[in-house]
Amino acid sequence: MVTNYPIADALIRIKNAQAVFKKSVRVPNTKLVKAVLQVLKDKKWIRDYKEVNQGKEIRVRLRYKEGPYPIPYIQNVKFFSKPGRRWYVKAKDLTPVRSGYGIQIISTNRGVMSTDEAKKKNLGGELICEIW
């Protein structure tokens, strides 16, 4: 399925796959999707990812919290920027997500990163999404 906004498509596919406890899921391959997946991997929200299908898709290995019953790391996604409306924030307006239990992803002039990294570097930019 080709969408107008591949990052939303990718994150919703990941969220839905975790809801039914799949081990991996395939998402569309774009530079922005790879950058967001790298942030999620660095923050340990997913296991890893790699290109498949001759570089057209990315296979994402999902991660669950350990215990007697697995709990998905990604349970909800909220999008701020959309193709018709971009959402920009300043560094001073960045706040913790869900008292530190979530993550926001921001695209800055220094690359895609989590908002806690952007706050440390005093960078603002386009707020892409919030995941918890």
Give me the residue spans of the domains in the chain.
Answer: 6-131
- Cβ neighbours of residue 62 under 8 Å, at least 6 residues apart? 14, 17, 18, 22, 23, 24, 25, 46, 47, 72, 73, 74
Residue 106, pLDDT score: 98
What whole-number percentage of the chain has pLDDT above 90?
Answer: 92
6-131 placed in CATH 3.30.1490.10: yes
Residue 2, pLDDT score: 56
pLDDT digits (tens, 9 = 90+) for 43-75: 999 999 999 999 999 999 999 999 899 999 999
Mean pLDDT over residues 38-43, rounded? 98
Phi-psi region of 111 (alpha: psi -120 to 50; beta: other; left: phi over 0): left
State yes or no: pLDDT of 4 exceeds 90: no
Mean pLDDT over residues 97-110, rounded? 95
Smallest CA-to-CA distance from 113 within 82, 83, 89 is with: 89
Residue 1, pLDDT score: 54
What whole-number percentage of the chain has pLDDT above 70?
Answer: 98
Residue the block writes with tokens 């695209």? 107
